Structure 1
Amino acid sequence: MQNATREDDMTTLFVRHEVSDYAVWRKIYDAFSPVQKANGVTAQAVYRSIDNPNDITVTHEFATLEAAQAFSKLDELKTAMRTGGVLGAPTVWFTNKA
């Protein structure tokens, strides 16, 4: 099956940012789930730094790099990040499983 997407062809979007209050941010993040699904997110995870619980790294998996890039540019995402108390500009990068 040449057209089938292999798991290692998937793209993972990593986003790291600091938030003003994790509990507030998490409520906004969880409420954003329908928008994630509607825009190609196939899996996601949230990580908190041990040294600073407001230092968050989030991963979102997509079938293609194009879908991941389009998601990262959504106005709804930028609004949710502002509403959730993201401080400063996030660090964003795209990966494929090696």
Structure 2
Amino acid sequence: MTTLFVRHEVSDYATWRKTYDAFHQVQKANGVTAQAVYRAIDNPNDITVTHEFATFEAAQAFSKLDELKAAMRTAGVLGAPTMCFANKA
């Protein structure tokens, strides 16, 4: 199992969350098996999201989706997100 960690700042959490929740079907169709959302304690617009996948290849393909990039723009993501992939040890 591979986890994709995505961290980014958003202009408004409520707007971002609405777009994120609406993106659920795209996540599921592209191999996301579990997900979680975290907000930084000192900045509620600093978001970290985890998405779990069966394989690294599925995680990598998801991270490159044009639909994902478009959703991030719509959601008000500021700047480029930081992404990293990890396997549970």
Taking structure 1 as the reference length, the TM-score comes to 0.91
Q: Secondary structure of 1:88's partner?
A: strand
Asked whether 1:89 is paired with 2:80, we answer yes
Give the Cα separation in 2 of the matches to 1:74 and 1:91.
15
Give the Cα separation in 2 of the matches to 1:58 and 1:31.
15
| Structure 1 segments of 4+ aligned residues over 3 angstroms from their partners | none
Q: Secondary structure of 2:41's partner?
A: coil
Give the Cα separation in 2 of the matches to 1:24 and 1:66.
30
Give the Cα separation in 2 of the matches to 1:12 and 1:71.
11
Count the aligned residue pairs. 89
Q: Which amino acid aligns with 1:44?
A: Q
Asked whether 1:41 is paired with 2:46, we answer no
**Identity of matched residues, %:** 88
Segments of structure 1 that go 5 or more residues without pairing to the other structure are 1-9
Give the Cα separation in 2 of the matches to 1:97 and 1:63.
12
Aligned to 2:46: 55
RMSD: 0.2
Asked whether 1:13 is paired with 2:1, we answer no
Q: Which has the larger radius of gyration?
A: 1
Segments of structure 2 that go 5 or more residues without pairing to the other structure are none
